[in-house]
Amino acid sequence: MEMVETLTLLEKEEKIVDNEISVIILLEKKFGEFMKSYDLKIWGKKMWEWVALACDGYVVKTIPCTTESDVLTLVKPLLTNSKYTVVLYSDTPLFKRQTLNEIMIYVRQRDLNVLPLKRGYVFNTNYIKNAESIKALVQEDFGTDDFTTVESYSDLTKITKILKNRILNFHLSNDVQICDMNSTYIDADVMIEKGTVLEPNVYIKGASYVGKNCRIEFGSTIENSIISDECIIKCSYISESRISEKTVVGPFESVVAKSS
């Protein structure tokens, strides 16, 4: 759909890939009888995609595993020519880019071949290509909650709340006014410009974009849509649509796959 393509252009900037580091994410099913836990969505992203988000700009590969899997056997076929290979697990969605940067500074400064993490490893790629076992002389802790694992639906609920607050605080730091943190829900890929006000009970989902100085009033839902600057959305549902500048929508309108 043309709308989705437009949103993609708005959402994503051209990325430069850093070839010094490659990342392998091990997809381990931890709970749920009929579904893959690593594919469960948290605020619009699968659990493993949250881990990949912290590794944005690096080559990222994924491979399924079990608790009994041998890490070396899994990762060796996926090794590249990068100097370092970072191995992470899909069940640590709180892992942050800042923590990854700190880890890599530590590895470079000490010229380590292997660094075990609380959940994962950093390898010198050339070293690990020929290694028959994982042997490390150093182990350090990084981050406070980065390696918190999701092993049950109870854990998932706790993690979901933490990630929700991270998203909301990100928008607050960009001068978006959020009237009620408890009843405002924003997916990870949403972009909101400064000066916009979000009233209570607002949901903004998918790859949505909200421009400057808008007011999204009580009870509104916006999904995969573009809201241009200085719009007012009054208790309405907008999906797969584009709303032009200074437009007032609602109250109680449903706008689906339209441009106004």
Q: Is 35 helix (H, G, I), strand (E, B) or coil?
A: coil
* Cα-Cα-Cα-Cα dihedral sign, residues 205, 208, 209, 213: negative
Q: Which of 130, 150, 166 is the last residue of a domain?
A: 130
Query: Is there a domain that residue 157 lies in?
Result: no
Q: What pLDDT is recorded for position 17?
A: 55
CATH code for the domain in which residue 35 is found? 3.90.550.10
The Cα 238–Cα 251 span in angstroms is 12
Residue 16 has pLDDT above 70, yes or no: no
C-alpha–C-alpha distance, residues 211 and 245, integer Å: 9
Q: What distance in Å separates the CA atoms of residue 97 and residue 133, rounded to the nearest whole number? A: 28
In angstroms, how far is the first alpha carbon of the chain from the final one?
Answer: 17
* Cα distance between residue 126 and residue 136, in whole Å: 15
Neighbours of 12 (CB within 10 A): 10
What the block records as the tokens of 146 is 């980065």
Position 8 scores a pLDDT of 41
User: Contact, 197 vs 184, CB < 8 A?
Assistant: no
Query: Residue 250 half-sphere exposure, CB side, CA atoms within 13 Å?
Result: 20
Beta-carbon contacts of residue 13 (< 8 Å; ≥ 6 apart) = none
Mean pLDDT of 99-115: 94
Give mean pLDDT, residues 225-249: 96
- Answer whether residue 35 is part of any domain: yes
With a cut of 80, say whether residue 243 has pLDDT above it.
Answer: yes
Among candidate residues 130, 155, 185, the one where a domain is terminated: 130
Q: Tally DSSP H helices, then E strands, for the chain.
A: 6, 21
pLDDT > 80? residue 138 = no
In this predicted structure, what is the pLDDT of residue 1?
34
Q: Which domain holds residue 234?
A: 175-256
Section 85-92 average pLDDT: 96
Number of domains present in the structure of the chain: 2
* Helix segments in the chain, DSSP class H: 2-11, 47-53, 71-75, 97-110, 125-130, 153-173
Question: Does residue 104 sit within a domain?
Answer: yes
Give the pLDDT band (50/70/90) at residue 204.
Answer: very high
Q: pLDDT for 154-164, tens place per residue?
A: 999 999 999 99
Q: What is the DSSP string of 202-217?
A: EEEESS-EE-TT-EE-
> Is the CB of residue 142 less than 8 Å from the CB of residue 149?
no
Whether residue 23 has pLDDT greater than 50: yes
Assess if residue 198 is contained within a domain.
Answer: yes
What pTM was computed for the model?
0.87
- Lowest-pLDDT range of 17-31, 105-119, 201-215, 233-247: 17-31
Give the pLDDT confidence score for residue 139 in this predicted structure.
76
Give me the pLDDT at residue 6, please: 37
Q: Distance between CA 222 and CA 201 in Å, rounded?
A: 12
Tell whether 63 is covered by a domain.
Answer: yes
Question: Tokens 């950093």 identify what position?
Answer: 122
Any idea which of 3-7, 45-49, 88-92, 106-110 has the lowest mean pLDDT?
Answer: 3-7
Rg (CA), the chain: 21
The CATH number of whichever domain residue 181 belongs to comes to: 2.160.10.10
Q: Are residues 18 and 126 in the same domain?
A: yes
Query: What pLDDT does 127 receive?
Result: 94
Q: What does DSSP say about strands 41-42 and 45-46: parallel, antiparallel, or unpaired?
A: antiparallel
User: Between these two residues, 118 and 19, which has the higher pLDDT value?
Assistant: 118
* Lookup: tokens for 112: 């380590």
Q: How far apart are CA 196 and CA 214, in angstroms?
A: 5
Round the average pLDDT of the chain to a whole number and report it.
90
Q: Is 90 exceeded by the pLDDT of residue 213?
A: yes
Are residues 26 and 119 part of one domain?
A: yes
Please say if the pLDDT value at position 223 is more than 90.
yes
Mean pLDDT of 116-121: 94
Instruction: For residues 16 and 120, state if they share a domain.
Output: yes
Q: What percent of the chain has pLDDT over 90?
A: 79
